Structure 1
Amino acid sequence: MNYKPKNILVIAPHADDESLGCGGTLLRHRAEGDYIHWLLVTGMSESCGFSTERILSRQEEIHKISQHYDFESVTQLGLPPAALETLSMGKIIGGISKTIHSVEPDIVYVPYRNDAHSDHELVFDAAMSATKSFRYPFIKRVLTYETISETDFGMKPEDGGFRPNVFIDISQYLEEKLDILDIYESEMGQFPFPRSRKALEALATIRGVQSNAHAAEAFMLIKEIL
């Protein structure tokens, strides 16, 4: 049976979440012939306190990242980072929904709801509204990814923690994932900083051990339609 390529959409609250959470998985999707798409919810702007120089450098980073992944499409909603709670939920849902209608993804990757960063929670909630099966019947799978420095610092007492039940072998793609993340110079740091090559390698190794692979990325399955 010939493989039918799938449309894959990763929804990232901030630039780097897509690579931290599922960079290796995206590279594997691309290698297997799938079409990968990136929806970036927030963006830097002068009104949010960023300098023109920093805004331009971030756009250059996003351009380089896009080239490395060879995304079919990149959509930037440009909403204010660390301030999504100041917006109506309808505005966030509307932007995500418009992209989902355009891409018609088979698989959607979203951030874990109980991450430390409030933007992740709001993006997750909006994404759930924008992936309802009766409105978006083409979506067959929704998974949440873990974001090191956010998922592991989510300390809500009522949260049971990130408990992955889907693992994707990224042994062939880990080094490329780390090289891509190095493009985000202001986001990566030296160990023991969580967003460091050593920490990310360690996490991939742990997830690999849990799934009998040399390196893996882990997800929580939210919905699957067979």
Structure 2
Amino acid sequence: MNKSVLVVAPHADDETLGCGGTILRFVEEGYNVHWLLITGMSEDSGFSQAQIKKRDEEILRVSEAYQFSSVHQLNFPPAQLETIAKGELIGAVCQVIGTVEPEQVFTVYRNDAHSDHEIVFDVITSATKTFRYPFVKKVYAYETISETDFGMKPEDGGFRPNVFINIDKYLDRKLDILEIFESEVGVFPFPRSRKALDALASIRGVQAGTSAAEAFILLKEVL
């Protein structure tokens, strides 16, 4: 059985917001979980050396906390993915998928408010075509509080999950890891806050008949 999982994050912290508890659970259950970061801070994209150093330290601490099997950083400019040729993005992602050979892939929801999320969703859709990578058996979209809940596209029916993963045992650790990203976390009612994530886990838990859960849309499954 292939127990390789790839978690795709447009920005560092998306993986924790959307599936931090699931990552912790999968690792404990013996899965090899890999982290793919699409964007990264650089001076060219407007960040100071101090900001870049701090984010590098945060990524290292988070990767150690999750015990990722590998971390892949593509370092495309954040909030500027629309300036990159789609083929270049797909090629970079395909290299990682070809290396990791994941059975399961987790990515962001296409109709999030952040333009990077829409682009990353489309790239992952292309990069996980069955004829290209037949070892990919499941593709999921996760929700990212502060982006998914602020999507306002009239044609979007909203995030309607059909898969729920029990994270009762892992919620507190997920929230602790979130707080490593100091610049991304705020005080409630800021959406990227401990209280907000706890509340969302409770709501998803109610839907799943458990105390805490994370929710996903199953996009593809090959049996």
- The whole-number CA distance in structure 2 between the counterparts of 1:137 and 1:87 is 27
User: Could you tell me which residue of structure 1 aligns to residue 144 of structure 2?
Assistant: 147
User: Could you tell me which residue of structure 1 aligns to residue 120 of structure 2?
Assistant: 123
> Which letter does structure 2 place at the counterpart of 1:154?
G
User: Could you tell me which residue of structure 1 aligns to residue 209 of structure 2?
Assistant: 212
Q: Specify the SS of the correspondent of 2:149.
A: coil
Aligned: 1:202 with 2:199: yes
Aligned: 1:12 with 2:9: yes
2:59 to 56, 62, 67: 62
> Which letter does structure 2 place at the counterpart of 1:14?
H
Q: Is the Cα contact below 8 Å between 1:109 and 1:142 reproduced in 2?
A: yes
Q: Specify the SS of the correspondent of 2:7.
A: strand
User: Could you tell me which residue of structure 2 aligns to residue 162 of structure 1?
Assistant: 159
- The whole-number CA distance in structure 1 between the counterparts of 2:118 and 2:130 is 21
Aligned ranges for residues 1-226 of structure 1 at < 5 Å?
A: 4=1, 6-226=3-223
Q: Specify the SS of the correspondent of 2:19.
A: helix
Q: Is the Cα contact below 8 Å between 1:164 and 1:218 reproduced in 2?
A: yes
- The whole-number CA distance in structure 2 between the counterparts of 1:35 and 1:197 is 27
Unaligned segments of structure 1, at least 5 residues: none
> Hey, which bits of structure 1, 4+ residues long, moved more than 3 A?
none
Identical-pair percentage = 65
Q: Is the Cα contact below 8 Å between 1:110 and 1:124 reproduced in 2?
A: yes
Corresponding pairs, count: 223
Q: Is the Cα contact below 8 Å between 2:106 and 2:140 reproduced in 1?
A: yes
> Which letter does structure 2 place at the counterpart of 1:179?
D
> Which letter does structure 2 place at the counterpart of 1:178?
L
Using the TM superposition, give the Cα deviation of residue 150 of structure 1 relative to its aligned residue in structure 2, in angstroms.
0.1
Q: TM-score, normalised by structure 2?
A: 0.99
Using the TM superposition, give the Cα deviation of residue 188 of structure 1 relative to its aligned residue in structure 2, in angstroms.
0.5
Q: Specify the SS of the correspondent of 1:152.
A: helix
Q: TM-score, normalised by structure 1?
A: 0.98
- The whole-number CA distance in structure 1 between the counterparts of 2:9 and 2:168 is 23
Unaligned segments of structure 2, at least 5 residues: none
Q: What is the RMSD of the two structures over their aligned residues, measured on CA atoms?
A: 0.6
- The whole-number CA distance in structure 2 between the counterparts of 1:31 and 1:181 is 19
Q: Is the Cα contact below 8 Å between 2:190 and 2:196 reproduced in 1?
A: yes
